[in-house]
Amino acid sequence: MQVISTVIIALFVFSVILVPTVSAASTYMVDVITAYDEEFRSVAQNFYWYSPSTLIQILFNSGTSHFWDEFQISFQIVNYLFWDSNDAVTDYRGMLDEVISELGFTYNQRRILVAFTDQLSGAWGASDSLIGAVLVKHAYPDGVGQATDNIIQHEISHLYRAEHHWVDGLMCVMNVYPYWIDFPYYYHVPTALVTNYWCTDCINIISSNRNLWGYTITSGGVGGGGGGQNHPRGG
Ligand SMILES: [Zn+2]
Ligand SMILES: [Zn+2]
């Protein structure tokens, strides 16, 4: 028992060291239910040779680490659910409504739903900021590089009431102004897909709405918080 308690204490001390220099009381923890459809599962397995949950972890840690760095909001995945998306649904808002109803997801301040799909094209995601659910399109093979984490960051920002900009050259993940992607793609994507920054306005909005989701951690720390690496993005 002595050994076990020593290990526990050591782990505790280590986890406290990992927490950034914010007081524990100002840290928000948000539970996250994730869901993936058959198209996302197929891409995970056949394109990357990952299980769907492993691919979700990679994308999610990358997309949410910025919330930890900027706002001390930590998102922790509590579930990976399968969702059979209807191929006849042809718009992202319809798909989001479908997954909400198929899973029976309802509003609860403590948690949000993040659903992944690889169905459809022409849009990147959707959000329902009242119920706390977002839909994220897997965007790796669509000719925009590794952009799925941007979509996660963008859609979750909507849950904190951040809204779109239409401003040429503003490097904010909420800016949907077209951005020209050069070699090897040669087409426009929303600026949101090429940056992980928020502009000052968005930082202020999200900061003032931090209490919309999750719960505060009042003791014990969060063991490294959002974790994940900050993936620098090119172009
Ligand atoms: Zn948006
Ligand atoms: Zn912004």
Ligand 1 centroid from CA 141, angstroms: 20
Closest ligand relative to 201 C-alpha:
2
Ligand 1 centroid from CA 96, angstroms: 13
Looking at residue 141, its pLDDT comes to 56
Ligand 1 centroid from CA 86, angstroms: 23
Ligand 2 centroid from CA 17, angstroms: 32
**Tens digits of residue pLDDT in 65-79:** 999 999 999 999 999
CA separation, residue 207 to residues 162, 179, 190, 200, 228 (Å): 10, 27, 24, 10, 21
Angle, alpha carbons 2-6-9 (nearest 5°): 140
pLDDT at 109 over 70: yes
Ligand 2 centroid from CA 117, angstroms: 25
Ligand 1 centroid from CA 205, angstroms: 15
Mean pLDDT is lowest, of 71-80, 149-158, 183-192, 213-222, for 213-222
